[in-house]
Amino acid sequence: MIDLLLRLKLTLLRAVSCRKPHQVSYLARAELSRALSEGCPVCVLEAEALRRFRFWFLNEYYGEAAWIDRLRSSVGFCREHTWMLVASDAPYRLSYVALYLAEGLLARSPSPWRRPAPCPLCSQLAAMRRSWCRDLARLLEEEQFAQQYRASPGLCPAHLQMVLESAPRPRQAFIAQALNLEGLHLGGHP
């Protein structure tokens, strides 16, 4: 359900907000701009996404067929996301998830414990991170946004690398300059 909603949201935003495929939507621009003032914008948006997911999963998604199928195919969440949900103190709802997983494991053979698919939340967050980093790389080419970035706490090292890698090779030096990284070697020939 959340994947469908996310895909629908992205499709609508692209159709309404973007005239060209390389433009950043108004909503993405506003979210990234706001998150810049709070720290690494990708870390801030990811923490918000996790809080929203925890709320909606524990209140609605835990019983939806689409999520049950995703959890069964991945043999549940990864350790980190499982403990995040356990710490939410919702044993009644999580008991349903355990029941679905047990039924799914019993139906699998020959190796029910092998994880055939990654944690569905990890996959979803990875896609969101890639999107935010790609949008940041595009926005940093705009002088006004680059100035806002320079006045912010900036990106953490992992997301800085992702932003630089998501930019086309000819634009990486320009983005490194916008990030005040002029001395950074970006690979290839100097």
Query: Is residue 146 one of the residues assigned to a domain?
Result: yes
Query: Is residue 76 one of the residues assigned to a domain?
Result: yes
Residue 133 CA to residue 163 CA, distance in Å, equals 5
pLDDT number for residue 133: 94
Query: Is residue 10 one of the residues assigned to a domain?
Result: no
pLDDT digits (tens), the chain, 190 positions: 666 666 656 665 555 444 455 688 888 889 999 999 999 999 999 999 999 999 998 888 888 888 888 888 888 888 899 889 888 888 878 887 888 888 777 776 656 566 677 889 999 999 999 999 999 999 988 889 888 988 888 888 899 889 988 887 777 777 777 676 644 444 433 3
Range of the domain at 167: 24-178
Residue 89 CA to residue 34 CA, distance in Å, equals 31
Query: Is residue 106 one of the residues assigned to a domain?
Result: yes
Given the structure tokens 């009644």, which residue do they identify? 92
Which residue, among 173, 189, 171, 190, has the nearest Cα to 181 in the 3D structure? Answer: 173
Query: Is residue 62 one of the residues assigned to a domain?
Result: yes
Query: Is residue 187 one of the residues assigned to a domain?
Result: no
Query: Is residue 101 one of the residues assigned to a domain?
Result: yes
Query: Is residue 183 one of the residues assigned to a domain?
Result: no
Q: How many domains does the chain have?
A: 1
